[in-house]
């Protein structure tokens, strides 16, 4: 309730700021700053409250129970804030509100500020519609925790960087519409918009690249980009932001380009909201591994998207007669023509990607939902991308002196990225079974599978390999019941490229289950078991938190008593395996009856046996893949450098 009150305060202050700015009757700049800071303060308070609830393990809040737990490491408790749909909206709002407060300290027009705080008000309403402060319908004493795939440093920082990019793109949109509402033929907004768009393009690009690197090093499917609709939902506005950047630059010299710069600003931000709608409405639930589950927020997002896009285009249409007239370029061999042609090619690529990612939505209008495969993207965009690269090289060679240092770095980085994508795709891929400690030659490399190594807490295990004499490990995170939860590849990094090993989940067929009855003897073929007793521990609220059994195991000569336990969790329970008779057996308690008269036990393969099992793995070589990481870094660094021009 308190969190929603904070959000309500943020909404009221944002609406007040918007009203004052639209009225253009600002009693003092100080008043606008106060309201903007107040809105940002309320949103910040709501955000801090959510973090407090997460760190205090307040599982009475449904969001906390769903995305956090008492055992979650500190870094991932921080990132649990934006792990779910509700929290990520609040993060977006937080960044947007802070930028809004900063804008009031700059020479931003009243109309532009009015548009920006209108967008902020919409964001607050979206957060309130899907509040992260909603109470849990049941009493929960342990949270589900963060998805193991998301428990990675790169994924912890990926969403905040993406949302900084999204929020920054609202500024050129607000500057564009603010200018249209006051002085449609003015070019005064262009320089400020250029700087904000550069920052937005850099942050959004960095977020996309970090997401790609996370997919490469964590998911283990062998690549960094899968043309997933959710990945594409960030790529499309990034591509259009590149178009907007070049049109802004050209409009500063050619007034006739001003109209298309306004159109680009509207479409760029509209596609940010559209991508959010697509990924969070549930439409992509069957077509993307990243998509959020369906919810009623999709209708609100669709309405917001229509409001921004249609509203922006209507204002442009009404003001069209006021735009400066003239030529957009003087000759076909001019720099202006080359820039416009390059923008057109980027728009073609963005349109193709938009069609592909929207196919589940578009196909539903005419029948059963369907999606395109990766070949659609590769075959349709590759020729355009190669043409764009050739055009960039020609333009760079002929007009390079006109490009700033930051621009040179970013453009060289982009060309190097296209080259690295092509080069790194020329590697070999082999899938085969590996016998432990047996040398295998693959693509010019000697690979030896050494076996599996388990951590003592049974939360992780490693598949260990030796590649060309160097040891590498593939990490697998384990669920509470010991099953594989997330597998990371083993990667040997060299100057010539990476050797990428993605082990497949082993097939374990010899798990035996014993149903034990209290005080009765049972055999597993070699050892005997007697279920002696069991008890359940309760918390102060009378809720079961764990169940413990006492089981005697004997080989006919020696007896060993074990006390396995099951910890109660929101999704049932989890238990760890125990080794008995010096590792001859490994057992795990999986259930106890309500009357404490029966217990279910799993007889698992020993660690020694697991380590000696053959493993199937996919080995891929990635020639000079480090060029890709270097190139995307150059793009971001060059773009940020260009801001200082």
The answer to the question of residue 631 being in a domain is no
Over residues 375-424, the pLDDT tens digits come to 899 999 999 999 999 999 998 888 878 888 998 999 999 999 999 999 99
The parent domain of residue 14 ranges over 1-147
Least confident window among 75-79, 244-248, 359-363, 539-543: 539-543
| Domain shared by 39 and 81, yes or no | yes
Least confident window among 205-219, 364-378, 620-634: 364-378
Q: Are 301 and 281 in contact (CB under 8 A)?
A: yes
| Domain shared by 83 and 198, yes or no | no
Over residues 472-485, the pLDDT tens digits come to 999 888 765 566 77
pLDDT at res. 287: 53
Cα(338)–Cα(391) distance, integer angstroms: 7
Q: Compute the mean pLDDT over every residue in the chain, rounded to the nearest whole number.
A: 88
In this predicted structure, the answer to whether residue 219 has a pLDDT above a threshold of 70 is: yes
pLDDT at res. 643: 86
In this predicted structure, the answer to whether residue 27 has a pLDDT above a threshold of 60 is: no
pLDDT-derived band at 61, boundaries 50, 70, 90: confident
CA atoms within 13 A on the CB side of 448: 9
| Domain shared by 130 and 191, yes or no | no
In this predicted structure, the answer to whether residue 514 has a pLDDT above a threshold of 70 is: yes
| Domain shared by 458 and 318, yes or no | no
Q: Which residue has the tokens 């597993």?
A: 524
The answer to the question of residue 223 being in a domain is yes
Least confident window among 44-48, 178-182, 539-543: 539-543
What average pLDDT does the segment 425-439 reach? 91
pLDDT at res. 107: 83
Most confident residue range from 137-141, 312-316, 367-371: 312-316
pLDDT at res. 251: 92
The answer to the question of residue 410 being in a domain is no
| Domain shared by 220 and 178, yes or no | yes
Over residues 331-367, the pLDDT tens digits come to 888 888 999 999 999 999 999 999 999 888 888 777 7
3 state DSSP class of 370: coil
Those residues whose C-beta lies under 8 Å from the C-beta of residue 619, and which sit 6 or more positions away, are: 429, 430, 431, 432, 442, 443, 445, 447, 499, 500, 501, 502
| Domain shared by 11 and 102, yes or no | yes
CA nearest 156: which of 235, 79, 265? 79
User: Higher model confidence: residue 222 or residue 335?
Assistant: 335
| Domain shared by 473 and 546, yes or no | no
pLDDT at res. 12: 95
What average pLDDT does the segment 18-31 reach? 79
Over residues 565-582, the pLDDT tens digits come to 887 765 566 788 888 888
- Say how many domains are in the chain: 4
pLDDT at res. 289: 52
Q: What percent of the chain has pLDDT over 70?
A: 95
In this predicted structure, the answer to whether residue 544 has a pLDDT above a threshold of 80 is: no
Question: In angstroms, how far is the first alpha carbon of the chain from the final one?
Answer: 47
| Domain shared by 50 and 172, yes or no | no
The answer to the question of residue 417 being in a domain is no
The answer to the question of residue 360 being in a domain is no
User: Higher model confidence: residue 161 or residue 187?
Assistant: 161
- Using CA atoms, how far residue 587 sits from 376, 392, 463, 580, in Å, is 49, 63, 22, 8
User: Higher model confidence: residue 586 or residue 344?
Assistant: 344
The answer to the question of residue 448 being in a domain is yes
Q: What percent of the chain has pLDDT over 90?
A: 50
| Domain shared by 307 and 245, yes or no | yes
Cα(442)–Cα(499) distance, integer angstroms: 10
pLDDT at res. 288: 56
pLDDT at res. 645: 64
| Domain shared by 459 and 569, yes or no | no
The answer to the question of residue 351 being in a domain is no
| Domain shared by 450 and 487, yes or no | yes
Over residues 200-210, the pLDDT tens digits come to 999 999 999 99
In this predicted structure, the answer to whether residue 564 has a pLDDT above a threshold of 60 is: yes
| Domain shared by 172 and 305, yes or no | yes
Strands (E) located in 361-457: 429-434, 439-442, 445-454
pLDDT at res. 260: 94
pLDDT at res. 301: 87
In this predicted structure, the answer to whether residue 435 has a pLDDT above a threshold of 70 is: yes
Cα(453)–Cα(362) distance, integer angstroms: 48
CA nearest 619: which of 493, 506, 491? 491
The answer to the question of residue 490 being in a domain is yes
What average pLDDT does the segment 71-87 reach? 90
DSSP annotation of 322 reads G
């Amino acid at each position: 309730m308190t969190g929603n009150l904070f959000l309500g305060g943020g909404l009221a202050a944002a609406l007040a700021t918007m009203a004052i700015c639209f009225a253009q009757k600002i009693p003092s700049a100080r008043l606008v700053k106060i309201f903007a800071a107040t809105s940002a303060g309320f949103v910040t308070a709501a955000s801090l409250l959510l973090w407090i609830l997460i760190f205090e393990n307040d599982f009475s809040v449904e969001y906390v129970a769903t995305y956090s737990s008492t055992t979650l490491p500190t870094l991932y408790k921080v990132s649990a804030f934006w792990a779910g749909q509700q929290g990520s909206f609040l993060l977006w709002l937080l960044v947007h509100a802070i930028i809004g407060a900063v804008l009031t300290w700059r020479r931003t027009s009243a109309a532009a500020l009015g548009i920006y705080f209108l967008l902020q008000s919409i964001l607050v309403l979206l957060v309130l519609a899907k509040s992260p402060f909603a109470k849990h319908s049941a009493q929960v004493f342990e949270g589900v925790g963060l998805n193991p795939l998301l428990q990675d440093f790169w994924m912890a920082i990926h969403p905040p960087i993406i949302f900084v990019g999204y929020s920054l793109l609202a500024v050129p949109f607000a500057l564009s519409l603010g200018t249209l509402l006051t002085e449609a033929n003015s070019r005064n907004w262009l320089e400020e918009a250029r700087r904000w768009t550069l920052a937005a393009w850099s942050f959004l690009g960095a977020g996309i690249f970090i997401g790609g690197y996370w997919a490469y090093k964590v998911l283990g499917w062998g690549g960094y980009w899968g043309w997933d609709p959710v990945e594409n939902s960030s790529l499309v506005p990034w591509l259009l932001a590149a178009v907007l950047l070049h049109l802004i630059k050209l409009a500063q010299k050619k007034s006739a380009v001003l109209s298309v710069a306004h159109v680009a600003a509207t479409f760029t931000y509209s596609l940010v909201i559209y991508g959010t709608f697509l990924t969070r409405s549930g439409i992509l639930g069957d077509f993307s591994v990243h998509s959020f589950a369906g919810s009623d927020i999709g209708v609100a997002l669709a309405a917001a998207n229509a409001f921004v896009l249609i509203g922006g285009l209507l204002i442009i249409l009404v003001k069209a007669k006021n735009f400066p007239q003239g030529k957009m370029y003087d000759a076909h061999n001019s720099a202006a023509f080359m820039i416009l042609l390059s923008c057109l090619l980027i728009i073609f690529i963005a349109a193709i990607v938009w069609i592909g990612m929207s196919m589940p939505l578009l196909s539903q209008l005419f029948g059963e939902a369907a999606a395109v495969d990766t070949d659609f993207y590769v075959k349709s965009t590759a020729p355009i991308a190669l043409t764009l690269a050739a055009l960039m090289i020609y333009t760079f060679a002929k007009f390079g002196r006109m490009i700033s240092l930051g621009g040179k770095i970013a453009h060289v980085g982009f060309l190097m990225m296209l080259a690295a994508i092509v080069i790194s795709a020329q590697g070999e891929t082999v899938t085969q079974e590996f016998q432990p400690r047996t040398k295998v030659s693959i693509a010019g490399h000697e690979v030896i599978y050494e076996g599996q190594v388990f951590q003592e807490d049974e939360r992780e295990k490693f598949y260990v390999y030796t590649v060309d004499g160097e040891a590498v490990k593939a990490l697998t995170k384990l669920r509470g019941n010991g099953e594989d939860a997330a597998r990371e590849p083993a990667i040997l990094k060299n100057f010539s490229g990476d050797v990428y090993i993605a082990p497949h989940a082993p097939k374990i067929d010899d798990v035996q289950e014993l149903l034990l009855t209290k005080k009765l003897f049972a055999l597993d073929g070699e050892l005997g078991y007697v279920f002696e007793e069991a008890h359940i521990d309760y918390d102060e609220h009378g809720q079961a938190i764990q169940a413990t059994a006492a089981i005697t195991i004997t080989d006919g000569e020696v007896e060993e008593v074990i006390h396995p336990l099951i910890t109660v969790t929101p999704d049932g329970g989890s238990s760890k395996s125990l080794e008995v008779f010096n590792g001859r057996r490994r057992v795990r308690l999986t259930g106890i009856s309500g009357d404490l008269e029966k217990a279910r036990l799993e007889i698992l393969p020993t660690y020694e046996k697991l380590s000696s099992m053959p493993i199937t793995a996919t080995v891929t070589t990635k020639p000079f893949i480090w060029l890709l990481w270097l190139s995307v870094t150059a793009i971001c660094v060059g773009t940020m450098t260009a801001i200082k021009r």
